[in-house]
Amino acid sequence: MKIRLYNSLNNRVEDFEPINPGKVLMYSCGPTVYDFAHIGNFRSFLGADLLRRFLEVAGYDVIHGMNITDVGHMTEDDGSGEDKMVVAAKRIKEDKKSGKVPEGSVDNPDDPYQIAKYYTQAFLDDSTTLGLKVAHEYPERMFHATEHIQEMQELIQKLIDRNHAYVSDDGVVYFHVESFNRYGNLSGNTIDQLRSGQGGRVSEEDQASKRAPEDFLLWKPDPSHIMKWDSPWGEGYPGWHIECSAMARTRLGSDVIDIHTGGEDLIFPHHECEIAQSCGASGEEHFARFWVHTRFLLVEGKKMSKSEGNFYTARDVLEGRVTGRPVHPAVLRYELIKTHYRSNLNFTVKGLGDSAQAVTKLTDFLNKANEASKGQVGEVGNDHPIVSQFLEALADDVNISAALAVVLPWISKSPEDPAEALGVLHKIDGVLGILGLAEKGVQQGDSSDSSDFDAEAACRELDQARADKDYDRADALRQQIIDAGYDVQTGKDGTTAKKKLA
């Protein structure tokens, strides 16, 4: 199968072949752990997860790593502003008062390691809930920035030795952008453009000690900083970009990797700077052969932002703070992966409802096939007509819409050969990652349902009311069951209620 991927480096779809046949080295920029991850973050992470799972089902051995940014970076890229850990400490103090952060979770909010630990665990929990595979592989492939300070320092030293970096008069270490003539190839932000102010991310006062305004921070000596480490350039902290270059190289074991992913906002300056650092140190032409960027998630057509009041963490959605009732993790995963990664995903309440229907269809089909095959699962290869159409669609730059357009009509019919159908589903779900999550709640009612509403008893009562021809009472009971979050159906064997997934 020929795999084609859009490469942001060249702005075109290209044939994908890994450097080492059969093995893909892949790195995704991960979360900053100063807060809970939001649904936009998860769109990017799950987009990478989908690509990774597809490559695995297509037959590759995928080594997928992701960083956890637990170093207290500044709110501004040039080292100015406030440290994000300090911002988080203030918020946690408030959240402790209101009970949002449970007692005992962060004993001392002024300790940045406690803050990072709290949000790292929350991220790993949310990721597991949403089926992000790399998080299951923790700890080997989730790389903590604070555990790689030494590797960052070695890389910085190498850049100094190779004349790509310098120590300024005030002791700060900068990458000298002019020393790397491919700077701007990824984002189009060339030095000329930056100097004419288009990418201007440098405040006047911070430029004083730099050789050029576009130079970016590698190490900042600052013994008063909330998180600091010893270094040859004084006690201080690393710049934001250096962590990914250092960890990708040391933890994936190669100067050149196959795929690097992140959200579209990371193209500049983060990924542009990662390339300059990695290639500057290695002398290689590429850091990553393919750069894959996910377009942003919007909420009901608008940019997601706290000021708009439409800013949602994954937990907000799952726990019912967005739709007024809990959303099953399989539904949120489906919603976040169902749109092609190079289109904006418009997250809507209606879309969640559609995703819930699709997940229900998938699980109903699975249950029917399971029942009919009595547990037999057929051996199915990638050349099975449904599987191959599904994979071929994904091979075209992860065209998930086309892939789902293969699956959804197929599951609308009853399976002809249930064992074979189970084999196909198994393959397909290796990529989608929906059924494993769905099975956790759908069959035994919903695990997130904490109310003591007895739907089964209400159905029997409803049937009795119908038998007694007390239709007012039957209608009232039906409404009660619907209000408790169930779909209600009355058939020849009586009434059944199924918990809604969203």
Q: Does 166 bind ligand AMP (CB under 6 A)?
A: no
Q: Whose Cβ is closer to ligand AMP: residue 189's or residue 294's?
A: 294
Residue 104 burial (CB count, 10 A): 6
Of the listed pieces 186-194, 235-243, 290-298, 309-317, which binds ligand AMP according to CB under 6 A? 290-298
Residue (31 or 280) nearer to ligand AMP, CB: 31
What dihedral angle (degrees, nearest 10) is formed by the CA atoms of 246, 249, 255, 258?
Answer: -120
Q: What is the Cα–Cα distance from 144 to 66, expressed in whole angstroms?
A: 9
Span interacting with ligand AMP, options 28-36, 128-136, 154-162, 449-457, rule CB under 6 A: 28-36
Residue of 245, 242, 95 whose CA lies nearest to 173: 242
313 DSSP β-pair partners? 38
Q: How many CB atoms lie within 10 A of CB 321?
A: 14
Residues numbered 396 to 425 that lie near ligand AMP (CB under 6 A) are: none
Pick what 41 binds: Zn ion, ligand AMP, none; C-beta below 5 to 8 Å, kind-dependent: ligand AMP
462 binds ligand AMP, rule: CB under 6 A = no
Which of these, 258, 305, 292, 340, lies nearest to 64 by C-alpha position? 258
- Segment interacting with ligand AMP, rule: CB under 6 A, options 25-33, 129-137, 191-199, 473-481: 25-33
Identified binder of Zn ion from the candidate list 26, 29, 159, 359, rule CB under 5 A: 29
With b meaning 16 or more CB within 10 Å and e meaning fewer, what string describes 459-478? bebbbebbeeeeeeebeebb
Burial class (CB in 10 A: 0-12, 13-18, 19+), 385: exposed
Query: Rounded to the nearest whole angstrom, what is the least distance from the CB of residue 453 to ligand AMP in the complex?
Result: 35
> Which residue do the tokens 């050789």 mark?
211
Interface with Zn ion, residue 186, by CB under 5 A: no
Which of the ranges 35-43, 277-285, 446-454, 460-468 carries the binding residues for ligand AMP, by CB under 6 A? 35-43
Q: Which does 244 bind (CB under 5 to 8 A by kind): ligand AMP, Zn ion, none?
A: Zn ion
Q: Which is nearer to ligand AMP, 43 or 228 (CB)?
A: 43
Q: How far apart are CA 181 and CA 190, in angstroms?
A: 9
> Could you tell me the smallest distance in angstroms from the CB atom of residue 27 to Zn ion?
8
Sequential DSSP letters for 304-329: --TTTT---BHHHHHTTTTTSS---H
Which is closer to ligand AMP, CB of 124 or CB of 442? 124
Q: Give the integer Cα–Cα distance in Å for 123 and 144.
A: 13
Of 261 and 360, which has the nearer Cβ to ligand AMP? 261
User: Which of 5, 24, 26, 41 contacts ligand AMP by CB under 6 A?
Assistant: 41
Q: Which of 189, 245, 294, 370 binds ligand AMP (CB under 6 A)?
A: 294
Which of 243, 242, 221 is closest to 233 using CA atoms?
A: 221
What is the DSSP code string of 354-395? HHHHHHHHHHHHHHHHHHHHTT------TTSHHHHHHHHHHH
**Considering only 27-35, 173-181, 433-441, 485-493, which stretch makes contact with ligand AMP by CB under 6 A?**
27-35
- Please tell me the distance from the alpha carbon of residue 273 to that of residue 263, in angstroms, as a whole number: 15
- Interacting residue with ligand AMP among 5, 8, 24, 40 (CB under 6 A): 40
Interface residues for ligand AMP in 235-274 (CB under 6 A)?
262-263, 265-266
297 binds ligand AMP (CB under 6 A): yes
Q: Does 56 bind ligand AMP (CB under 6 A)?
A: no
Q: Which of 67/370 has CB closer to ligand AMP?
A: 67
Query: Can you tell me the distance from the alpha carbon of 387 to that of 381, in angstroms, rounded to the nearest whole number?
Result: 8
Cα Rg of the chain (Å, integer): 26
Q: Which is nearer to Zn ion, 29 or 186 (CB)?
A: 29
User: For Zn ion, which residue of 39, 244, 391, 400 counts as binding (CB under 5 A)?
Assistant: 244
Angstrom distance (rounded) from CA 149 to CA 356:
44
Which residues of the chain form contacts with Zn ion (CB under 5 A)?
29, 244
Site of interaction with ligand AMP (CB under 6 A): 29, 31-32, 40-41, 43-44, 262-263, 265-266, 294, 296-297, 304
